[in-house]
Amino acid sequence: CKRIGILTSGGDCSGLNAAIRAVVHCACGKGWEVLGIRQATLGLMARPPQSLKLEIDQVDSLLTSGGTMLGTTNKGDPFAFPMPDGSICDRSEQIIAGYHQLGLDALIGIGGDGSLAILRHLAQKGGINLVGIPKTIDNDIGITEHAIGFDTAVNIATEALDRLQFTAASHSRVMILEVMGRDAGHIAIAAGIAGGADVILIPEIPYTIDHICSQIKQRQDQGKNYCLIIVSEAVRTQDGETLTMTNRLGQCRYGGIGQYLADQLCERIGVETRVTVLGHIQRGGTASPRDRLVAAAFGVAAVNLIEEGKYDYMVTWQNRQVLSVPIAEAIAQYRAVNPDDTLVKTARGLGIYLGD
């Protein structure tokens, strides 16, 4: 009989609760005890460590709920943790001690590449038996074809394009949809193709405003009165600048490229343009069936890895199978959109402008 911990770390996404549910079902089925750690490493840092015992009854209704029942955080690296007085402090020892105080045999960390790298660093330093489950709407973690949350985000962005198409056509407008994805264009290219975009702009492939203008004009010449553009948040301006937005707390994230493009297009060819920034809607709400499926398979596979004593591994989806790879290997291979990807060829084959 084992006692295992589970935590969700970094930005939330749809499908996290489905993964927690799967872990609890599988582990409790083996007669193990599962402790949910609240708010990622902050829960292990707290004294007493913040956790709750998870039973099947408690998680059974979670399959369709968004967010994470455990809470999460992306507030800094525990090895250089920002303190309220502005100083930086190494809190790793407290987190490691929290894991041991809870008497855990192993820890399942559900996170993106940044969170998994931090958890691995903690595990190496403090003898934590770690197994990773990849999640991120950005789908940029190496080796695995799917990360939990990506499919739902693509569905939401696709639906946004579907809806924008009607209003664009009614008003003869250029509609720009700005989507998340951090430095990778996976959401934009997948939703752009599925949602019938005329222009897809991703950080991995450079573009010119002149070519976007030509695409709009070409459509006008064909009698098409509107144009749908989808742009990833980290696409640069023509001056090579990555635009960011900062809130009053000084927190910064990508944003603003959609409005920049709208201004450029209006200035150059006088088209009427509107911008929609999809934002965190891409991370909220019920997970798609595929994300639930991936979450279920990953949850079960992670528990099985613990049973085999195969630590420091991350579960992956490769060629229709759930496999596992060393966490270090996965995080070392950042997965951007490759210019030779099938989806790039598909977009080009459809006559979509995707950059040069």
Lookup result for tokens 């695995």: 144
Q: Say if residue 181 carries a ligand binding annotation.
A: yes
Please report how many Cα atoms fall inside a 13 Å half-sphere around the Cα of residue 200, on the Cβ side.
31
Shortest CB 271 distance to ligand F6P, Å: 28
Nearest Cα to Cα of residue 285 among 4, 45, 54, 15: 15
Could you report how far apart the first and last alpha carbons of the chain are, in Å?
57
Nearer to ligand F6P by C-beta: 254 or 260? Answer: 254
Q: Is 138 a catalytic residue?
A: yes
Which one of 74, 165, 218, 220 is in contact with ligand F6P (CB under 6 A)?
74
The secondary structure element, H or E, covering residue 229 is strand 227-232
Q: Say if residue 138 carries a ligand binding annotation.
A: yes
Q: Say if residue 38 carries a ligand binding annotation.
A: no
Which one of 77, 113, 138, 198 is in contact with ligand F6P (CB under 6 A)?
138
Which one of 217, 253, 310, 345 is in contact with ligand F6P (CB under 6 A)?
253
Cα–Cα distance measured from residue 211 to residue 213, given in angstroms and rounded to the nearest whole number = 5
Which one of 18, 108, 130, 180 is in contact with ligand F6P (CB under 6 A)?
180
Nearest Cα to Cα of residue 49 among 32, 35, 61: 35
Is residue 254 close enough to count as binding ligand F6P by CB under 6 A?
yes
Using the rule CB under 6 A, give the single segment among 76-84, 127-135, 180-188, 345-353 that binds ligand F6P. 180-188
Does residue 344 contact residue 352 with C-beta atoms inside 8 Å?
no
Is residue 11 close enough to count as binding ligand F6P by CB under 6 A?
yes
Nearest Cα to Cα of residue 150 among 2, 295, 350, 338: 295
287, amino acid identity: A
Is residue 30 close enough to count as binding ligand F6P by CB under 6 A?
no
Is residue 182 close enough to count as binding ligand F6P by CB under 6 A?
yes
Catalytic residue among 12, 77, 90, 138: 138
From the number of C-beta atoms within 10 Å of its C-beta (0-12, 13-18, 19+), residue 205 rates as: middle
Residues of each annotated binding site: 11, 75-76, 112-115, 136-138, 173, 180-182, 233, 274, 280-283
Residue list, annotated binding site for Mg(2+):
113
Question: Which amino acids are annotated catalytic?
Answer: 138
